[in-house]
Amino acid sequence: MTDTRARSAGRRTSTVWYRNIRVRRAIAQVVAVIGVITLGWWLFSNLVTNLNRLNINTDFGFLGRPTQFQIPYDEGFNPRSSVWSMVLVGVKNTFLAGSFGIILATVTGIVVGVSRLSSNWLVARIATLFVETLRNIPPLVVIIFFGFALFTFGPFPIITEADQYSFFGSDHNVLILSNTVWGIPSLIAEDGAGIFWIGVLFGFVAAGLVARWRTGVFDRTGRAHHRVILALGTFAILAFTGYLVAGDAYSLSWPALGESGRRIVGGLQLNWGFIAVTIGLGLYTASHIAEIIRGSILAVPKGQSEAANAIALSSFQRYRFVVLPQSLRIAVPPIINQYLNLMKNTSLGVAVAYAEITSLTLTSIGNGRPAPQSIVVLMGVYLAFSLTISFVLNAYNRRIQLVER
């Protein structure tokens, strides 16, 4: 009788909906979502009300209006260019600084991280000094240091007295150095550039197929795959074939001082802000990546290195074929965060007058463009950069992870 009453009480308790934990969780989530939506709608309505009271437009029509200011070191942009054109210039400059900074940070970080584990006392101490110095200084200070110590108060002359370097016996400059802009040779696209890039595309696809084929041969037979050499050779042959078919796809443009001596014409011009941001953020981020690489190498079981030594692999071969491939599986996730931080930290370029997207947006707002919409566009740009980097590197991370059987 007692057991029957207990079971009956249990059934009555289970039928009370507000005591069901799943129902409570669902209600709590619905209430939280409604609260967030309500708060967001109230903030948005308050913003629109205040903008209308101040006679400030709430649309994005300002993107088609002229900026009314000039972007330094950008001859293709003028005050009559639209705000949307300014956004594109800012995106391009942010992408260039972030991309070259990521390359510099990756290469330097791997070298320094491996050097910290070197048996050579001097190499290990120099790597430690690099990491402990840059990692503990704010990135803004690093950028300002390179901007002013290297250029404003550095060893380079003013533009009218720029140092010009050329090949022996040649009239063309290969390098022009000044305290505001550097000039290096560049390529100018000709009529056949499109055909050349079609050849490059085919070469890239063919190289991927060759690498996959050689990997399959290695998995089936165990023979040396030589996939890197064969893939690069395939790519080079098809790209060169496209260049020959296209004719003059590109021509060289050499830097030279203009007639006034106050600016560089021709070639590729690297302004001091770009160089300071790229080097500053690249080296600062490299100090963090070096520690990630060092920790990831130490996380690889010691038996792996002992096995590599047992089969007489050199130090380079041990790292290249055994240690680094395994450590990358550990290092890639935290390195993704460093890449995201570097891309977002390009906004610090405002301190050295680099025309990245944040600096241009603030200048546009100062010239009377609506701040809320401008900031929304700015946030959208950084969100697009971050999501793209995360998507690509997470896909790579999934690709290199071991698949459990």
Determine which helix (DSSP H) or strand (DSSP E) holds 253, and give its type and residue range. Answer: strand 250-253
Give 350's strand partners. Answer: none
pTM value is 0.82
Q: Which tokens is 343 given?
A: 């891309």
Cβ neighbours around 283 below 10 Å, total: 21
Residue 54: Cβ-neighbour burial (10 angstroms; 0-12, 13-18, 19+): exposed
| Whether the predicted pLDDT of 169 surpasses 80 | no
Model pLDDT, residue 5:
57
Q: Which of 339, 346, 344 is nearest to 289 (CA)?
A: 339
In the chain, the N- to C-terminal Cα span, in Å, equals: 53
Q: Find all residues with CB under 8 Å of 78, minimum gap 6, and list them.
A: 70
Q: Which tokens is 215 given?
A: 């990997």
| Whether the predicted pLDDT of 2 surpasses 60 | no
CA distance 371 to 60: 11
| 264 contacts 171 by C-beta, under 8 angstroms | no
336-379: pLDDT as tens digits: 999 999 999 999 999 998 999 999 999 999 888 888 889 999 99
175 in helix, strand or coil? strand
CA distance 270 to 186: 11
294-349: pLDDT as tens digits: 999 888 888 888 888 888 787 778 887 888 888 888 888 999 999 999 999 999 99
21-34: pLDDT as tens digits: 888 888 899 999 99
Task: Answer with the residue of higher pLDDT: 379 or 57.
Answer: 379
Give the full edge-to-edge strand order of the sheet including 173-177. Answer: 163-166, 173-177, 181-184, 268-271
Q: Which of 2-6, 224-228, 312-316, 374-378 has the lowest mean pLDDT?
A: 2-6
Q: How far is CA 266 from CA 249, 258, 270, 378, in A?
A: 18, 9, 12, 32
Q: What integer is the mean pLDDT of 256-276?
A: 85
Q: What angle do CA 260, 261, 264 make, to 5 degrees?
A: 110
Model pLDDT, residue 10:
52
Q: What is the DSSP string of 224-248?
A: ---HHHHHHHHHHHHHHHHHHHHSS
Q: Which tokens is 176 given?
A: 């022009």
CA distance 190 to 242: 14
Q: Which of 337, 265, 272 is nearest to 97 (CA)?
A: 272
CA distance 171 to 251: 17
| Phi and psi angles of residue 56, each rounded to the nearest 5 degrees, phi first | -105, 125
Q: Which tokens is 353 given?
A: 């007058």
- Report percent pLDDT > 70 for the chain: 95
| Phi and psi angles of residue 75, each rounded to the nearest 5 degrees, phi first | -70, -20
The DSSP call for residue 150 is I
* pLDDT band at 109; cut points 50, 70, 90: very high
